[in-house]
Amino acid sequence: MSLLEVEELRTGYGALPVLQGISFNVEEGQTAVIFGLNGAGKTTTVNCLAGVLPTWSGEVRFDGKRISGKDAPGIVKAGIALSPEGRRVWPGLSVLKNLELGAWVRKDQKAIGETVEQVFGYFPRLEERKDQMAGTLSGGEQQMLAIGRAIMCKPRLLMIDEASLGLSPKLAQTVFQVVSQINDDGTTVIIVEQNVGVLPYADQALIMEKGALTFDGRGEELERSGELRKTYLGEAAAE
């Protein structure tokens, strides 16, 4: 049984449909990467899985239990966290408060300090800036904080939307390496990306186009297939 099972998922904004009925599974302990051009439906997919957008039809099961229809707090309690597009940190709260609020749904409040230390282990920069207002951090630091905040609830599935957007190639690689480490520590990961630099870390690759899934296979399959990269990620990526 897969950790996440998505069947014929449809959703959209207002009356405008975006997802045309997509189906895919993600196995526990793996890293899945969703690629696609702007407007392909990647962010819509993770927002729907996170309960930010309503499910129009189809079904999502997590660890065998139906979660489609739950609201965002219900999804977090089920064990899924999303680091959203645009980071969306709380600018007027300190780094530490941002992290502590990330653990809102946890019942073991006394153990939160350990998870904060774990996050600081992944991102030492955050520890240096723990009393600084999040709004004063650089883009890369805010991305680290958004990911750190998402893992504060100790999710079984971590979704990261546009992890490398706006980051330098070097910083993006640093973020990918940390995400890989989080995955190695036992958290299943879904990354929404346009940056092919994440491919070496992908166990599973999905490609979306116009609200539909056009490729679902192993990461190395996509990496080897120059044609796929050329078709979906452009000439430059295929070289």
Partner 1 sequence: MSAVLLTAPQQMQPLALEFVVPVVSGLIQGSVYGLLGLGLVLLYKSGRIFNFAQAEIGTFSALFAAFADQGTGPFPDLPVPVAILIGLLTGVGLGLLVERVVIRPLFSAPKVTVVVATAGVLLLLVALGGFLSGPEPRSAVQIFEGDFLETSSLRVTDTGALVVVVLAVLAVLSALFFSRTRTGTAIIAVSQEPTATRLVGISVERTSALTWGIAGLLGAIAGILLSGTVGVVFPGSLTFIALVPAFTAAVLGGVTALPGAFVGGVVVGMIESFAQTNIPKDVLPGSGKVVLFVALLAVLLLRPAGLLGKET
Q: Which residues bind partner 1 (CB under 8 A)?
A: 50-52, 71-73, 76-77, 81-82, 84, 88-93, 97, 100-105, 149-150, 152-153
Tell me how far CA of residue 228 lies from CA of 99, 205, 217, 222, 225, in angstroms. Answer: 39, 11, 11, 6, 5
CB 232 within 8 A of CB 207: yes
Closer residue to partner 1 (CB): 129 or 229:
129
Q: Smallest distance from the beta carbon of 100 to partner 1, in angstroms?
A: 7
Q: Smallest distance from the beta carbon of 119 to partner 1, in angstroms?
A: 14
Take residue 233 and report the two structure tokens written for it: 């990620």
DSSP 107: S
Closer residue to partner 1 (CB): 46 or 207:
46
Q: Smallest distance from the beta carbon of 128 to partner 1, in angstroms?
A: 22
Closer residue to partner 1 (CB): 6 or 81:
81
Q: Smallest distance from the beta carbon of 225 to partner 1, in angstroms?
A: 34
Q: Smallest distance from the beta carbon of 199 to partner 1, in angstroms?
A: 27
Beta strands of the chain (E only): which ranges?
4-13, 16-26, 31-36, 57-62, 65-66, 80-83, 157-161, 188-193, 204-209, 212-218
Q: Smallest distance from the beta carbon of 60 to partner 1, in angstroms?
A: 16
Q: Smallest distance from the beta carbon of 184 to partner 1, in angstroms?
A: 24
Strand partners, 238: none
Closer residue to partner 1 (CB): 19 or 50:
50
Helix (H, G, I), strand (E, B) or coil at 195: coil
Take residue 87 and report the two structure tokens written for it: 């980071």
Beta strands of 128-224 (E only): which ranges?
157-161, 188-193, 204-209, 212-218
Closer residue to partner 1 (CB): 41 or 148:
148
Closer residue to partner 1 (CB): 112 or 207:
112
Distance between CA 2 and CA 157 in Å, rounded?
Answer: 12
Closer residue to partner 1 (CB): 37 or 93:
93
Distance between CA 172 and CA 152 in Å, rounded?
Answer: 21
